[in-house]
Structure 1
Amino acid sequence: MRRIFEVAGVLLMVWGAGGLIHEWAGWFHAWGVVHKLGWFEGYEVYANIVLAVAGLVLVVASERAGGAGRAGHGDADAQRTDRAGDAGGTGGTGGTGGTGVR
């Protein structure tokens, strides 16, 4: 599901950027979506900016919700386990300084 939101976000960014280039330079006639609709007559630049920003927000939100959030929790759990292992392992080493050598 995350991949679908990423692809949709990238498409929105490309359409928004292509629309801006179309409005400012006259290129990318096929990439612009807003100028084909007609609803945004006179507001094409603003609509393309909103489209590109919405795509960026969608990509960032899907990255945070999917990958980074889970990895962050896993790292915190691993750190807790390491700390618990260090505390228990250094006490029974017989004075070796926590190296684990007996």
Structure 2
Amino acid sequence: MKSLLGALCFVLVSQGVGGLLHTFTDGSFDLWALTHRIGFLDGYEVYASTVLLVLGVAVGAAAEKLPKDA
């Protein structure tokens, strides 16, 4: 379970950072981010990327609290 949450943490953080980098560099990180490809998020990409980043950090913190896998 801990490794699954760690992988989810990595995906969420990388998508959050990638989305912010895509927005602030005018599209240089086109392959990294998925938030700019989702139609209903038009105009809200920064907010969605920030939420993904914060959620990824929270999942990573929760994964650290779990006991080690046996």
**TM-score, normalised via structure 1 length:** 0.62
Partner of 2:14: 14
Measure how far apart 1:59 and its partner are. 0.7
Partner of 1:23: 23
Whose RCO is larger (CA < 8 A, sep 6+)? 2
SS in 1 for 2:48: helix
SS in 1 for 2:66: helix
Identity of aligned residues (%): 36
**TM-score, normalised via structure 2 length:** 0.89
Deviations 1:16-60 (CA, angstroms, capped at 9, x unpaired)? 001100001022100101111112111100000000110110011
For residues 1-102 of structure 1, what are the structure 2 equivalents within 5 Å?
Answer: 1-25=1-25, 26-67=27-68
SS in 2 for 1:27: coil
Larger Rg: 1
* RMSD after superposition: 1.0
SS in 1 for 2:67: helix
List 4+ stretches of structure 1 deviating above 6 A. none
Unaligned runs of 5+ in 2: none
In 1: Cα distance, 2:67 partner to 2:24 partner:
36
